[in-house]
Amino acid sequence: MNGIIPLYKERGMTSHDCVNRLRKILHQKKVGHSGTLDPSVDGVLPICVGSATKVVDYLLTHRKVYRGSVTLGFSTETEDLDGAEVARKVLTEPVTDETIDAVLQTLTGDLQQTPPMYSAVKVNGRKLYEYARKHQTVERPVRTIHVTRFDRLAPSTFDTDAGTQTFTFEVECSKGTYVRTLAVQAGEALGIPSVMSTLTRIESGGFKLDETLSLDQIQDAVDRDDLSFLQPLDRALDDYPEITLTTPLWRGVQNGVWLLQREVNSDAPIVALRYDNEIKALYKLVDHKYKPLKMFSTK
């Protein structure tokens, strides 16, 4: 069994929970996800099965798109609603939507971001949340991320009784971006403690939310011996131009030979080699020759 499953991850489950459940449903040990989603976040979680686990790294290069909400007026230790409150500032009047928009625009492009303490980023072999749970401090690595757009979706709402204000957003960003940290950064720019109050990933690995299936739907399909939910590993490689191989060239590729540029008839830095209606390998251009970069199948 080989392919990619565009899974809908429900809130309350870890990404690892989803992998374990799928291993049992599919009776398959070789299962892996492409990009962790926090338990409080739902949405698109591409899952690779069998030989498709070889394309996990390529799925991660695709853009990620999220929709969610930010609440201004308080902050938590986890930067979302799962953690204990650490700061509060009662708002007596709302921030204008125009001011919010201006701040969100400053949080686009290449940005420096420090991952939250309650995250799975490893420092000295331990995950940051392990330090956080023991109230230990540790220097966190600063990452460069890229935010393509960060847009408010609708008029914000002001809660007079609670002294808080909430706005919805959509953000398109690179891998490694912590959207809850973006929510905190937006509040910092406004001078107001803030928190990510909801989040859904609506696109990841080239898959969109309307393509996803729940774990229960996958279980039902397997019970009917219907594996049509498995997507080909080609879906992870659509950024690369495809070259259809002749049988003689395929025999060479099976043995890892380099190909002349004129044989491939391309000047692309990386090409996907297709034979028998299946992408078999990625080859990289080096000095007018294409050399193997990643083999997916030699059969």
Q: Could you give all domains of the chain from N- to C-terminal order, each with its CATH number?
A: 3-62+206-234 (3.30.2350.10), 64-201 (3.30.2350.10), 240-295 (2.30.130.10)
Most confident of 56-65, 97-106, 125-134, 170-179: 97-106
Residue 119 pLDDT: 74
Distances in Å between the Cα of 23 and the Cα atoms of 27, 31, 33, 55, 269 are: 5, 7, 12, 18, 36
Residue 68 near residue 30 (C-beta atoms within 8 A): no
pLDDT band at 181 (very low <50, low <70, confident <90, very high): very high
Phi, psi of 109 (to 5 degrees): 85, -160
Question: Given the structure tokens 């990625």, which residue do they identify?
Answer: 282
Tokens linked to 177: 């971006």
Interval 44-62 mean pLDDT: 90
Is pLDDT at 117 greater than 90 in this prediction?
Answer: no
Residue 154 pLDDT: 97
pLDDT band at 141 (very low <50, low <70, confident <90, very high): confident
Q: Which residues form the catalytic set?
A: 38
Is pLDDT at 17 greater than 80 in this prediction?
Answer: yes
Residue 107 pLDDT: 97
Nearest to 159 by CA among 222, 87, 74, 225: 74
Residue 254 pLDDT: 92
Q: Which amino acid is at 104?
A: L
pLDDT band at 140 (very low <50, low <70, confident <90, very high): confident
| Mean pLDDT for all residues in the chain | 92
pLDDT band at 99 (very low <50, low <70, confident <90, very high): very high
Residue 94 near residue 165 (C-beta atoms within 8 A): yes
Residue 118 pLDDT: 75
Please give the Cα distance from 235 to 49 (Å, whole number): 13
Per DSSP, the three-state class of 132 is: helix
Residue 72 near residue 192 (C-beta atoms within 8 A): yes
Is pLDDT at 166 greater than 90 in this prediction?
Answer: yes
Nearest to 201 by CA among 33, 75, 30, 45: 45
Sign of CA dihedral 51, 52, 53, 58: positive
Please give the Cα distance from 116 to 88 (Å, whole number): 19
Interval 152-165 mean pLDDT: 97
Residue 80 near residue 70 (C-beta atoms within 8 A): no
**Cα 183 vs. chain centroid, distance in angstroms?**
17
Nearest to 35 by CA among 23, 25, 47, 24: 47
Residues in CB range of 247: below 8 A, 6 or more apart = 275
pTM score over 0.85: yes
- Beta bridge partners of residue 168, listed in sequence order: 69
Please give the Cα distance from 154 to 163 (Å, whole number): 19
Please give the Cα distance from 247 to 273 (Å, whole number): 12
Residue 46 pLDDT: 95
Nearest to 206 by CA among 226, 174, 235: 235
